[in-house]
Amino acid sequence: MVQKRNALGRGLDALLSMDEVQTEGSSSINEIELSKIAVNPNQPRREFDQTALQELADSIAEIGIIQPITLRKLSDDEYQIIAGERRFRASQMAGLTSIPAYIRTADDENVMEMALIENIQREDLNSVEIALAYQHLLEQYGLTQERLSERIGKKRTTIANYLRLLKLPAPVQMGLQNKQIDMGHARALVTLGDPKLQVKIFEEILEQGYSVRKVEEIVKSLSEGEAVKSGGRKIAPKRAKLPEEFNMLKQQLSSFFSTKVQLTCSEKGKGKISIPFSNEEELERIIGILDTLKK
């Protein structure tokens, strides 16, 4: 298998009629020994599907590398991966000793940007990995969301939505990364803004198998100050502290109806008034009071 791969490498050199071909002035393509290649510590991808990796390795063993990986030259005997770590790992599994690669001259400041841009286009990064890579670029290299939008061909709102995922509690981020929930669930949870509630709803999604639409409905109710029932539990939103004039109104209503009236209000100004009753007689009394107000 290794002999077949080396033969392909020599065929590539013969086809190009030179050992090293300049592609863009700052890049070249060549056959590089795997032992000289190191992974990029800032690589956005953190996990690799082992089944998919084995399938790629089998394909490489049979037909070779279709698309060269991209490397940064550190020295004559050392290269760092900019894009293509998955192909690199699969080539190792396939028993290859070398791999075709584009060699780029890149500053440290550009390596992460190049890795992100190339991998987003070519690899199936999960949402959290993408968000972390975006954040790394924005913070470490001083890029704006507008500049990043131009570089990767994504709308600025798309980038902003990914970055908002990093505001979620760690258990929710892990669930998103492990594909227990999808991007739609996560985006709905972000709007809650209360970490405890976000974790509670996340747990309900896992237990009840809620759809994105169902989670959006639950979040909407909680955002409006309403409690929701899920399975056998009741989930109540964090109560906003009522302004003094609201407390006075609550007391006046309680006195008027001779019962403990409940008044709730969300941070957005939405809320409700509840008039409790303990039996039918008390309900009739309250209705009687309401009827007198109509006259």
Query: What is the residue-wise DSSP string for 219-272?
Result: HHHHHTT--EEETTEEE-PPPPPPPHHHHHHHHHHHHHHTS--EEEE-TTS-EE
Give the list of residues 6+ apart from residue 193 with CB closer than 8 angstroms, or none: none
- Cβ atoms 140, 112 nearer than 8 A: yes
Would you call 85 a catalytic residue per the annotation? yes
Which residues make Cβ contacts (< 8 Å) with residue 155, sequence separation at least 6?
149
Measured at the CA of 45, the angle between CA 44 and CA 48, to 5 degrees, comes to 175
- The single-letter code of the amino acid at 138 is L
Pairing of strands 98-104, 27-33: antiparallel
SS3 of the chain: helix, strand, coil, percent, to 5: 55, 15, 30
Phi, psi of 209 (to 5 degrees): 65, 35
Q: Answer positive or negative: Cα dihedral of 54, 55, 60, 62.
A: positive
Token code pair at residue 210 = 């809620």
> CA angle 225-189-239, nearest 5°?
25
Q: Active site residue: 20, 47, 55, 85, which one?
A: 85
Residue that the structure tokens 């959290």 belong to: 128
Cα-flanking dihedrals φ and ψ of residue 211, to 5°?
Answer: -80, 170
Report, as residue numbers or ranges, the catalytic residues: 85
